Amino acid sequence: MSVHDTYSVSVVIPTRNRLPDLLACVHSLTTQQHLPDEIVILDSSVCRDTNRIMEIVKGTNISIRHLYSAPGANLARNRGIEESKGEIILILDDDVILDAGYINEILYVFSSSRDNELGCVTGNILNENQEKQGMIQTLGNFLLAMFFLPRSGLGHFQLSGFPTIPSYLNTSTYSSVFPTNNVAIKKEVLEKFKFDERLDEIISETGVSFRGAGHADDDDISYRISRKYRIMYDHKAKLIHNKATIT
């Protein structure tokens, strides 16, 4: 499936002290059927290695900027968005690896949709539900379901205020939530909705958020955007999330 150059694409990747994961992520971007126009890396690592990153993209037409950022994923995302020139901003965690057709599929959804309110598209994390399902895990899932707490589902907010997460579904569907580890958002949407940098401070001070580091920001930005725009989960846009250790 080919996609016409309807939209320009910028990729924003916050990173901190996970160079091997970052390099693998960037490499997966260079092997896309539809290459992004630019990659903007916001790096709060103690040691940064721009040369190794540049070596990976050499020979492609991808523009890349490797910028220093103070710690904080939402702070980095907001700065990356401000620095980006694309009409579609693809926000990734540094520990994801995209299938070669990922960007192609995301752009196809945007370009073929007649829904003027479509603002975001997120992909299918193939390894999201591959943890071993023992008795304790099964009981835990039952209790989560009973109290309307986070679990995999169709991606809608529950009575508890927490969402189910669209993952491992074999069909595309509208959703009310997206994971910030992989989401493509129209730049015009992000000009109205910014990531809440106060959540960085909460996570930094406590070490956790309500659902573990990195989830409160997913819920917050998803909820605010979903009140005005529609979010599409695209099961054909595939990726792996390695869930590297946070340092």
Residue among 47, 114, 93, 50 at smallest CA distance from 243: 93
Q: What is the pLDDT of residue 129?
A: 57
- Give the three-class secondary structure for 235: strand
- From first to last of its 247 residues, the chain has per-residue pLDDT tens of 455 568 999 999 999 999 999 999 999 999 999 999 999 999 999 888 999 999 999 999 999 999 999 999 999 999 999 999 999 999 999 999 999 999 999 999 999 988 889 999 999 998 865 554 444 445 445 555 555 554 555 555 555 556 666 665 678 888 888 999 999 999 999 999 999 998 887 655 544 443 334 457 888 999 899 999 999 999 999 999 998 776 6
What's the full length of the chain, in residues? 247
Could you tell me the two tokens for 160? Answer: 């508890």
Q: Name 115's Cβ contacts closer than 8 Å, sequence gap at least 6.
A: 230
Please report how many Cα atoms fall inside a 13 Å half-sphere around the Cα of residue 187, on the Cβ side.
16
How many whole angstroms separate alpha carbon 67 and alpha carbon 44?
9
How many whole angstroms separate alpha carbon 89 and alpha carbon 239?
17
Strands 165-166, 173-175: pairing kind: unpaired
Cβ–Cβ under 8 Å, residues 41 and 67? yes
Bridge partner residues of 175 (DSSP): 231
Q: What is the pLDDT of residue 157?
A: 56
Cβ–Cβ under 8 Å, residues 128 and 167? yes
Residue among 88, 76, 54 at smallest CA distance from 189: 88
pTM above 0.85, yes or no: no
CA 34 to chain CA centroid, nearest Å: 18
Could you tell me the two tokens for 15? Answer: 């990173």
